[in-house]
Amino acid sequence: MIIIIGIAVVVFAVITGFLIAGGNLLLLLQYAEFIVIVGSAIGGLLISAPPSLLKKIISELPKLLKPDHYSKEDYLSLLKSFNDLFIVAQRDGLLSIEKHIESPEQSEILSKNPRFINNTFLKNFFCDTLKVMLSGGVPPHELEGLMDIEIETFEIESKPIAATVARIGDSLPGLGIVAAVLGIIITMSSIDQGAQVVGEHVAAALVGTFLGVLLAYGFVNPIAAALEHDAEMKLRLLETIKACVVAYAKGNPPIISVEIGRRTIFSDTRPSFAELESYIRSKANVGT
């Protein structure tokens, strides 16, 4: 929702400022300039990005309207689920959690966290790692390396999404100049038609430059930054899961394992130690 508000603020500020300065909005309706700029940008995107990357960009853009970022409450719920699962493993043996990680949707512990269960990637990242633990013979440092490989793969796969959108944004001012130059060419071919006609063509050409700069710095580059921030939040969530699992694999008690994971959370959504302990111990959240 906030991205829609941001777009609305940009549009409102530009239009209001133009009107206050005495501008005529009809002068900005230069469809030919818009077609040149946007069409060239889309063409450049098709040239620079393989089909697989295009699909990822198309799938990620709608998600910006409703970002799937974890709040403090979401992190508390996630850490509690891990704590409860580790307690069962500590009390009844590691094999006792096999049913929970084989069918997390039916787990009386993990199923209490619908955000985690509904996120296939996070669910598989956590459960597949615990399956490796159950297989035995995997030292903690090897387990950590295994998780690092998957996190690194996710990061390498995610970075081109924001980077490609940012490159398209950076190209828009140049494409605006292309549209403006085309407008000047038209202007020069009609210079014998009088000052009014020449003025209209020059105005249309300048609108091309205006549109290129506005689309780049008012919309596309901020969207690229939002995509980058979204990827960073997902990476941080993976790091939190990794810290919890590796800490438990090294023999730490469940509460210490989730405390280590808590410290990887960004400060704006990180619960305090007291909040985590209170959440885990509260009677309303007793799960094991």
Q: What is the pLDDT of residues 152-163, one digit of tens each?
A: 999 999 999 999
Which one-letter DSSP state was computed for residue 270? P
pLDDT per position as a tens digit, 101-136: 999 999 999 998 999 999 999 999 999 999 998 887
Sign for the CA dihedral angle at 281, 73, 128, 253 comes to negative
Residue 274: which pLDDT band, with cuts at 50, 70 and 90?
Answer: very high
CB 191 within 8 A of CB 198: yes
Q: What is the pLDDT of residue 30?
A: 87
Confidence of residue 184 (pLDDT cuts 50, 70, 90): confident
The stretch 10-27 carries a mean pLDDT of 90
Q: Which of 248, 230, 256, 286 is nearest to 126 (CA)?
A: 248
Under 8 Å between Cβ of 36 and 178: yes
Q: According to the model, what pLDDT value does residue 128 have? A: 92
**In contact, 48 and 170? CB cutoff 8 Å:** no
pLDDT value of position 286: 43
Residue with tokens 């850490």: 79
User: What confidence score (pLDDT) does residue 26 get?
Assistant: 84
End-to-end CA distance of the chain: 38
Residue 167: what pLDDT? 95
Q: What is the DSSP letter of 287?
A: -
Q: How is the chain split into domains, by residue range? A: 2-59+71-285
CA trace torsion 114, 117, 121, 122 (10° rounding): 80
- Cα–Cα distance measured from residue 54 to residue 20, given in angstroms and rounded to the nearest whole number: 40
How does residue 284 score in pLDDT terms, banded at 50, 70 and 90? very low
The residue type of 221 is: N
**Torsion of Cα atoms, 215 then 216 then 219 then 220, to 10°:** 120
- Tell me the average pLDDT across 167-186: 92
pLDDT at residue 191 tops 80: no
262 pLDDT above the threshold of 80? yes
**One-letter amino acid for residue 106 of the chain:** Q
pLDDT at 52 over 90: yes
**Residue 45 near residue 54 (C-beta atoms within 8 A):** yes
Mean pLDDT value across residues 175-202: 84
Whether the per-residue pLDDT at 197 is higher than 90: the answer is no
pLDDT bracket for residue 199 (50, 70, 90): confident
CA distance 43 to 57: 15
